[in-house]
Amino acid sequence: MSQGVLSPSGPAASGARACPRLARLTLHEFRNYPALTLDLPQEAPIVVLTGANGAGKTNLLEAISLLSPGRGLRQARLPELLRTGGEGPWRVAARLVSDAGERELGTGLQAESERRQVRIDRRNAQPAELAAVVAVLWLTPQMDRLFLESAGGRRRFLDRLAFLLDPEHARRVAGYERVLRERGRLLADAPASPADSAWLAALESQAAELGVAIAAGRLTAVEQLNTALAQAAEPDFPAALLAVEGTVEGWLASMPALAAEARLAEALALARPKDAATGGSLVGPHRSDLVVSDRRRAVPAARCSTGEQKALLLAIVLAEARLVAGLRGLPPLLLLDEVSAHLDQGRRAALCQRLLAHGGQVWLTGTEPALFDALKGRACALAIANGRARLEEWAV
């Protein structure tokens, strides 16, 4: 049973760019969708989803975001994704087409399992393997407050940017977090006996190796992004300037990585009594922050207006998309949830121009088709309602 099927409108237009794009997306018992199959016209790399509040626009983007490692754009727990009252398991499948040919991607929650299942070209795979096949990058309304809230959100944002440039980054972050949890447990459990101190040292030298690699990965990402942002400076879009503020990142500016590792391991060893008391860890890249400012006006992002902050975020995301396309040859799928809110008409038009120039597929959402007038005739528009999708009149 499949609902809301669109027929592909003939063969791809000649000269169509060969960026990776979803040609078909299938949802099964996912959020508010019992079953949905979307066949997307090949000649439109931009897809606009419109519909009332609660129609299922964000849910659709979330489904696409699960085609990459991690928990998707809402950071949801996997069982939450099953449709209320639905018969499990939930599934998301997609056909990705590009120059390199077609790939079949699928994910879902296995019965009685905590881990999600991933299929690539009809064989079981680790979620991390998805990163080699497709890059997915998103911007959601929740991120509107990124510059105003705690450092944790900005750090996760930065780590995601670094991960898209170097997929190994995610493994290091996950490993680092696990080592810190192990160390925390050991400090809480046992008054340091000699055996435990060797164990703690083993954990700390692991933490130091991973932590310095994480800091280095972030610095590289920020440097590459700043270069890309400087090249793309356009008058109607703000120019963002990025920096990482953190102890370990600071060390790397003045000493080689091996020296920084030794220093971090030493700092962790020294902090044992304090860390045992607080249950945390005083020093390390888990305390760093991403600092963003408007380059032209030299104003910190937190002091920019709501719309200016949104434009800064968009500038960063678009620069990242160009970088990932250039460095890894993998133009990301861009998922932009309600990006037009807060943007004035000039910025909205500038955004549309940039999106048309982006090499990869772009998914946009909004309550009103009128928000995307600048894309008229150049995008595929889908009206979402009642768990179905309908191709809109002003489509390609």
Ligand X SMILES: Nc1ncnc2c1ncn2[C@@H]1O[C@H](COP(=O)(O)OP(=O)(O)OP(=O)(O)O)[C@@H](O)[C@H]1O
Of 57, 53, 51, 49, residue with least CA distance to 33: 57
Q: State the minimum distance, in angstroms, from the CB of residue 48 to another protein.
A: 36
Amino acid at 122: R
Give the interface segment with ligand X, choosing from 55-63, 110-118, 166-174, 194-202 (CB under 6 A): 55-63
Of ligand X, Mg ion, another protein, none, which one sits near residue 88, judging by CB under 5 to 8 A according to partner kind? none
Residue 119's CB is within 10 A of a number of other CB atoms, namely: 15
Cβ proximity to another protein, 181 vs 297, nearer residue: 181
Give the interface segment with another protein, choosing from 27-35, 183-191, 284-292, 357-365 (CB under 8 A): 183-191
Distance between CA atoms of residues 151 and 264, nearest Å: 21
Give the interface segment with ligand X, choosing from 47-55, 146-154, 160-168, 206-214 (CB under 6 A): 47-55
Q: State the minimum distance, in angstroms, from the CB of residue 395 to ligand X.
A: 19
Of 341, 336, 329, 350, residue with least CA distance to 232: 350
**Contact flag: residue 166 with another protein (CB under 8 A):** no
**Contact flag: residue 91 with ligand X (CB under 6 A):** no
Q: State the minimum distance, in angstroms, from the CB of residue 330 to another protein.
A: 17
**Contact flag: residue 14 with ligand X (CB under 6 A):** no
**Contact flag: residue 65 with Mg ion (CB under 5 A):** no
Q: At what angle do helices 168-189 and 194-231 cross, to 10 degrees?
A: 150
Among 126, 227, 278, 345, binds another protein (CB under 8 A): 126
Among 26, 42, 50, 59, binds ligand X (CB under 6 A): 59
Among 32, 142, 205, 226, binds another protein (CB under 8 A): 205
* Positions in 296-325 near another protein (CB under 8 A): none
Cβ proximity to another protein, 154 vs 183, nearer residue: 183
Cβ proximity to ligand X, 107 vs 288, nearer residue: 107
Q: State the minimum distance, in angstroms, from the CB of residue 90 to ligand X.
A: 8
Give the interface segment with another protein, choosing from 10-18, 185-193, 288-296, 333-341 (CB under 8 A): 185-193
251 phi-psi bin (left φ>0, alpha ψ -120 to 50, beta other):
alpha
Of another protein, Mg ion, ligand X, none, which one sits near residue 368, judging by CB under 5 to 8 A according to partner kind? none
Give the interface segment with ligand X, choosing from 79-87, 94-102, 312-320, 322-330 (CB under 6 A): 79-87
**Contact flag: residue 58 with Mg ion (CB under 5 A):** yes
Residues contacting residue 384 through CB under 8 Å, at least 6 positions apart: 49, 50, 51, 55, 56, 57, 60
**Binding residues for another protein, per CB under 8 A?**
126, 128-129, 168, 171, 175, 178-179, 181-183, 185-186, 189, 195, 198-199, 201-203, 205-206
**Binding residues for Mg ion, per CB under 5 A?**
58
**Binding residues for ligand X, per CB under 6 A?**
31-32, 51, 53-59, 80, 82-84, 367
